[in-house]
């Protein structure tokens, strides 16, 4: 863990729970692509950079999930570096309580206010700022989260953030975290057609070709939608539908899984309703979902 792996003439990643990209901008200056989960990750990454004689020039965040921005605060405190973020991701980076609150749908209890869902705050700069390294391409990858992006470095390495899950992860959990199903499917379609010298997803192996994995992710999304429609073949409340999905995928509920899977199931239901494949009724002071 925290080994440095070179994948291009100027591109590397640091093996960690969510891969941390490194772009060598020359002159001993590097940019991190995401920063890990917390200050401990920051310290370990700093050791890697120090061994190479590199100085941190800045952090390019792909999105604002805690496991991608948790090291920002450490680095800003140590170096004063800029942290670049896109759109709404910047708001969640500046006010990280938004993540567990967003997932839970209200003020999160203490069980949800921990480093895996609640990063330390850091001060982001929009990726349109002139200080952003102009030679790095920004690739919109919406769907998994609000305004997630990937980055293409000058040696044609593409860092794909969380838009792909590994086959092993999907086999284990069955359903990935998704904020906007329609946009996520469009992102998967775009990634299927994408070409690069190397792709580095945050939670899947680096590869020269990710088209098959993107299609596999797409198949799993559509299969989850069909399974949810089966769950809703008769009117059902959200809580009961969620319980059915947990059982169908062999998952065990705890607070983290409740908010992560629960948020995803709500997103699926919204997508199905907007597509005319599900409808809602209100009866007995409950909201009931049913497949059409």
What does the domain layout of the chain look like in residue ranges? 4-223, 228-291
CB atoms within 10 A of CB 269: 23
The whole-number pLDDT of residue 160 equals: 98
Two tokens, residue 113: 């206010």
Fold of 228-291: Arc Repressor Mutant, subunit A (1.10.10)
Query: Which residue in the block uniquely carries the two structure tokens 């999304």?
Result: 221
* Cβ contacts of 75 within 8 Å, gap of 6 or more: 32, 35, 42, 46, 56, 59, 81, 83
β-sheet bridge partners, residue 6: 12
Two tokens, residue 68: 């991608």
The whole-number pLDDT of residue 186 equals: 98
Two tokens, residue 10: 């100027």
The whole-number pLDDT of residue 261 equals: 97
Q: What is the mean pLDDT of residues 27-53?
A: 97
Q: What is the mean pLDDT of residues 127-142?
A: 98
Backbone CA torsion sign across 137, 89, 57, 203: negative
Q: How is domain 4-223 classified at the architecture level of CATH? A: 4-Layer Sandwich (3.60)
* Helix or strand (DSSP H, E) at 116: none
The whole-number pLDDT of residue 170 equals: 95
The whole-number pLDDT of residue 183 equals: 98
Confidence category of residue 143, pLDDT binned at 50, 70, 90: very high
Q: What is the mean pLDDT of the chain?
A: 97
Confidence category of residue 232, pLDDT binned at 50, 70, 90: very high
The whole-number pLDDT of residue 181 equals: 98
* Helix or strand (DSSP H, E) at 215: helix 211-231
State whether residue 228 is helix, strand or coil.
Answer: helix
The whole-number pLDDT of residue 251 equals: 95
Confidence category of residue 184, pLDDT binned at 50, 70, 90: very high
Q: What is the mean pLDDT of residues 21-44?
A: 97
Strands (E), the chain: 4-6, 11-14, 20-26, 29-33, 55-60, 82-85, 124-126, 137-140, 149-152, 157-165, 198-203, 236-237, 278-283, 286-291
Two tokens, residue 154: 């000058």
* Helix or strand (DSSP H, E) at 61: none
- pLDDT tens digits for range 254-288: 999 999 999 999 999 999 999 999 999 999 999 99
The whole-number pLDDT of residue 244 equals: 98
CA distances from 214 to 103, 139, 163, 188, 283 (A): 25, 16, 9, 6, 40
Q: What is the mean pLDDT of residues 234-258?
A: 97
């Amino acid at each position: 863990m925290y080994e440095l792996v070179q994948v291009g003439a100027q591109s590397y990643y640091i093996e960690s729970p969510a891969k941390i990209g490194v772009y060598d901008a020359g002159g001993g200056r590097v940019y991190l692509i995401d920063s890990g989960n917390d200050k401990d990750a920051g310290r370990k990454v700093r050791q890697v950079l120090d061994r190479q004689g590199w100085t941190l020039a800045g952090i390019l965040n792909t999105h604002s999930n805690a496991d991608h921005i948790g090291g920002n605060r450490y680095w800003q405190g140590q170096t004063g570096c800029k942290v670049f973020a896109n759109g709404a991701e910047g708001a969640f980076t500046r006010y990280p309580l938004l993540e567990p609150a967003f997932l839970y749908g209200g003020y999160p209890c203490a069980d949800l206010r921990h480093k895996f869902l609640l990063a330390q705050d850091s001060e982001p700069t929009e990726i349109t700022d002139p200080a952003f390294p102009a030679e790095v391409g920004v690739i919109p990858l919406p769907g998994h989260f609000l305004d997630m992006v990937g980055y293409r470095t000058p040696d044609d390495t593409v860092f794909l953030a969380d838009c792909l899950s590994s086959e092993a992860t999907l086999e284990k959990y069955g359903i990935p975290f998704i904020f906007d199903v329609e946009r996520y499917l469009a992102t998967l379609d775009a990634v299927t057609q994408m070409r690069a010298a190397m792709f580095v997803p945050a939670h899947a192996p680096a590869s020269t070709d990710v088209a098959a994995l993107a299609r596999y992710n797409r198949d799993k999304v559509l299969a989850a939608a069909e399974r949810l429609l089966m769950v809703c073949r008769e009117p059902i409340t959200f809580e009961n539908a969620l319980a059915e999905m947990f059982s169908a995928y062999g998952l065990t509920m705890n607070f983290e899984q409740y908010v992560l899977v629960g948020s995803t199931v709500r997103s699926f239901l919204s997508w199905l309703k907007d597509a005319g494949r599900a409808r809602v009724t209100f009866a007995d002071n409950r909201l009931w979902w049913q497949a059409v």
